[in-house]
Amino acid sequence: MTPRINEIWVYLAASPLLGLTLTLLAYQGAAWINQRCRSHPLANPVLLAVIALVALLWLTGTPYRTYFDGAQFVHFLLGPATVALAIPLYAQLDKLKRMAGPLLVALLAGSTCAAVSAVLVGKVLGASDATLLSLAPKSVTTPIAMGIAEGLGGLPSLTSVLVILTGIVGAVGARYIYAALRIDNDAVRGFALGLASHGIGTARAFQVSEQTGAFAALAMGLNGLLTALLLPWLIPPLMRWLGGLP
């Protein structure tokens, strides 16, 4: 009986259908659990779905490539979804105009802080250079971060994982930081979360309110642009300086 199930699995795993269906099932299961936990940030749907899928692929010995052949159809939608962020953003146009100056200052400080503090902490704790370079762009959305990591000499596929991890950490932790620092403005909350935790933070922010989500989307877009421009000349000197330390 068991060998037959194995054969069927091997056969189905070779077609894109299985990877795609499993992704949708895992995500909906994760979303259901998230709802049952009243959207508690620790029951993050991306985190739960990824854990379930990795466990399943691991147990069945299915390679990531095979899985991604199917999952790429979901992955592809990241492009049009990124473009679609212009629409909630537009809804906040008036507020954006009023806050343009403070938003830009906060963007510059937050963006630099996200990259430099990651490299410094990683270095102090003994991470390898390839890991440090892959860590630097982790606060920006996956496609931008992978491009930056490649340019810096990091590992793009490691960066994509660190980006997801960063997104989950921010989405889970933000509410505790805001409580500790008494940050109560929806626009401020959204902007900081989108800047540090890109699309996953933005998805979380949309659960809070439309306005929080729109400011998160704005911060994600702006930080993507700024990080792509900033890191190529910020990180190489930083790495040289760190390399000179004992």
Which 167-206 positions form the footprint of other proteins (CB under 8 A)? 167, 169-170, 173-174, 177-178, 181, 183, 185, 187-189, 191-193, 195-197, 199-200, 202-204, 206
Binding to other proteins by residue 1, rule CB under 8 A?
A: no
Whole-number Å distance between alpha carbons of 139 and 115: 7
User: Contacting other proteins (CB under 8 A), which of 3, 5, 38, 80?
Assistant: 80
Please report whether residue 211 would count as binding other proteins according to CB under 8 A: no
Near other proteins by CB under 8 A: residue from 8, 11, 79, 236: 79
CB of 172 to other proteins, least distance (A): 10
Question: What is the C-alpha to C-alpha distance for residues 91 and 105, in angstroms, rounded to an integer?
Answer: 22
**CA distance readout (Å), 232 to 38, 111, 175, 224, 238:** 42, 13, 32, 13, 11
* Stretch of 9-17, 35-43, 150-158, 235-243 lying at the interface with other proteins (CB under 8 A): 150-158
For position 13 contacting other proteins by CB under 8 A, the verdict is no
Tell me if 142 sits within 8 A of 156, measured CB to CB: no
Tell me the HSE value of 244 on the side-chain side, using a 13 A CA sphere: 6
Identify the residue whose tokens are 């069927």.
8
Binding map of other proteins across residues 19-58, x = CB under 8 A, - = no contact: ----xx-xx---x------------xxx--xx--xx--xx
**Distance between CA 4 and CA 9 in Å, rounded?**
9
* 81 binds other proteins, rule: CB under 8 A: yes
Q: How many residues bind other proteins (CB under 8 A)?
A: 111
127 counts as binding other proteins under rule CB under 8 A = yes
Rounded CA-CA distance 209/229 in Å is 30
Query: H helices of 125-209, where?
Result: 129-135, 142-152, 156-181, 186-208
Q: Which of the stretches 10-18, 35-43, 120-128, 237-245 binds other proteins when contact is defined by CB under 8 A?
A: 120-128
